[in-house]
Structure 1
């Protein structure tokens, strides 16, 4: 659960958009720790509407390839976490921050979804012989290794394409530039 409710965020954004106060004064008025929080709420609201201010109740799952694409885009364009999140229609840039940190520490394996919790206890006695069980686990290991190799090849192909012609790649993945805001920050 987030620190601020959706209604509170909505109230702050509306106050900023309809009033004459800048980010700093709005931050002081509502007792928010940092003006970048308000700036992020306003930007997300402008991009996604009121839905951008909601905290998702259901956990969103992203594929490893999607995570790699997001991180690759951010690295190649130099976009901020917030710009990258908006570009990929995400309202929470901290998720990308976590992916980046995990990728730097653990590589591609760190970006895969991990099974959580203890495995369930089986009430049925084991009917499969240990030899068949080992063969299945070996087969699963090979399938998993195969999938990782495919992901790596795809990533390397995209990297090669970018290195050969960065202008074409950036044109294809061009991010929308935000319009200059008429309001000035009052520090």
Structure 2
């Protein structure tokens, strides 16, 4: 069974070309999407923001991160163990499963 297409990755040179062409030719984001065959305006908006804040070299930085679910992140940040509610305690040390 097919899982669909993987996310397309663009080279830093391509990203730079898109942003600089937009500026040089006064293209809107939507016009650039059509010109370069990009399907999501958020991609170009992100490249433009990075280009303006960090310069062209900012487009060379790999920004993908491993996804962590909210629940896992909350457990790790509180130093809790993800086994069962009875093992969770509040900051005062009281177990969440005990009555007040």
TM above 0.5, yes or no, is: yes
After TM superposition, give the deviation of residue 98 of structure 1 in Å.
Answer: 3.1
Structure 1 runs of 4+ aligned residues shifted over 6 Å read none
Higher share of residues assigned helix: 1
1:43 Cα offset (Å): 0.5
**1:15: which partner in 2?**
21
> 1 or 2 for the larger relative contact order (CA 8 Å, sep ≥6)?
1
Cα distance change on mapping 1:108 and 1:49 into 2, 3 Å: farther
C-alpha RMSD of the superposition: 2.9
Structure 2 residue runs of 5 or longer lacking an equivalent are 1-7, 78-90, 92-100
Q: Which residue of the partner structure matches residue 67 of structure 2?
A: 98
**Are 1:30 and 2:36 counterparts?**
yes
Stretches of structure 1 that go unaligned for 5 or more consecutive residues are 57-91, 111-151, 153-187
Q: Could you tell me the TM-score, scaled by structure 1's length?
A: 0.34
Q: Residue 98 of structure 1: SS of its match in structure 2?
A: coil
Task: Give the TM-score of the pair, scaled to structure 2.
Answer: 0.59
**How many residues get paired?**
72
